[in-house]
Structure 1
Amino acid sequence: LNELPSLVEFLVYLFADNTKIFRSMRVPSNSEHLQRDLNTLHSWTESWLLHFHPGKCKVLEVPPKSMLFHVTLRKKNYQSCSSIRDSRVIIDAKLGFKEHLNNKIQMANKVLAIIRRSFPLLDADTLILLYKSLIRPHLK
């Protein structure tokens, strides 16, 4: 694992089964360097039998559409996406959390609707107990 940082030009972060590679892409030639680094990482993972999952590979441009480039990994083209999920948090291309917060609020509203349908006659104490145990965890 110690040989990995010297193999690539870009910043690479490895944590458990997650790999992140990033760098400022101010000049078009950086996309060629990124592709070369991805190819190097792919070779490295193949030699260590740690394969990238093609369905989980994403490209996030910050800010969005700053440099239109495409990367390829295992003969699959990857275009930039509008948001990514990282450690159960959704981050958009503006490094915001609006989509994540909207998903959490939507989930909390769904649980609240289930509670209201399932328990038509709720007293205040029971509603507070259900809120604290079933809804608040989604909002935290």
Structure 2
Amino acid sequence: MILSKFAEDTKLGGPVDSLKVKEALQRDLDQLEGWAITIHMKFNKGKCQILHLGQGNPGCTDRLGNEMLESSTTERDLGVLVYRKLNMSQHALAARRTSCVLGCIRQSITS
């Protein structure tokens, strides 16, 4: 599994294609929870979610501590929207809306 941290975001992930790998992922989640307890850090478990990527993904359930993690269809990673089906259609729409807002801001500043 791959653990990545950026600012206050922590992500744990990797391909889960067998029961053995799924159990390894759960062990890693348990170790992450143990590490957080050791250094007196708390995860906001309400914000902890699972993003099952790709079509035909079995959608395993996992837990962090005693709480089951909910599945999500979309996650934001460094400002980029990542969708469960790995398509970019919604991201393109969000980018167009952002571009329109930036255009309005630019117009109001130059006027």
TM-score category (smaller protein):
0.7 to 0.9
CA RMSD of aligned residues (A): 2.6
One-letter identity of the residue aligned with 1:55: G
Structure (1 or 2) with the greater helix fraction? 1
Equivalent-residue separation in structure 1 for 2:55 and 2:85 (angstroms)? 7
**Paired position in structure 1 for 2:5:** 14
Structure 2 residue 8 is the aligned partner of structure 1 residue 24: no
* Matching residue of 1:133: 106
1:93 lines up with 2:73 in the alignment: no
Report the secondary structure of 1:49's partner residue. coil
Greater RCO (CA < 8 Å, at least 6 residues apart): 2
Identity of aligned residues (%): 25
Shift of 1:88: 2.1
Q: Calculate the TM-score normalised by the size of structure 1.
A: 0.64
Q: Deviations over 1:43-66 (max 9, x none)?
A: 101211232211221211121441
Distance in structure 1 (CA, Å) of the matches to 2:82 and 2:43: 21
- Note if contact 2:48-2:70 (Cα within 8 Å) is conserved in structure 1: no
Q: Is structure 2 residue 44 aligned with structure 1 residue 53?
A: yes
Larger strand share, 1 or 2: 2
Q: Aligned partners of 2:79 and 2:17: how far apart in 1?
A: 29
Gaps of 5+ in 2: none
Shift of 1:83: 1.2
For these two proteins, the number of residue pairs brought into alignment is: 108
After superposition, the Cα gap between the structure-2 partners of 1:18 and 1:29, relative to the gap in structure 1 and judged at 3 Å, is same
Deviation at 1:107, TM superposition (A): 5.1
- Paired with 1:60 and 1:16, the residues of 2 have a C-alpha distance of 20
Contact 2:49 2:69 in 1 (8 A): yes
How far did residue 131 of structure 1 move? 4.0
TM-score (norm 2): 0.77
**Matches of 2:27 and 2:58, distance apart in 1:** 17
Counterpart of 2:32 in 1: which secondary structure?
helix
Q: Is the 8 A contact 1:58 1:81 kept in 2?
A: yes
TM superposition shift of 1:69: 0.8
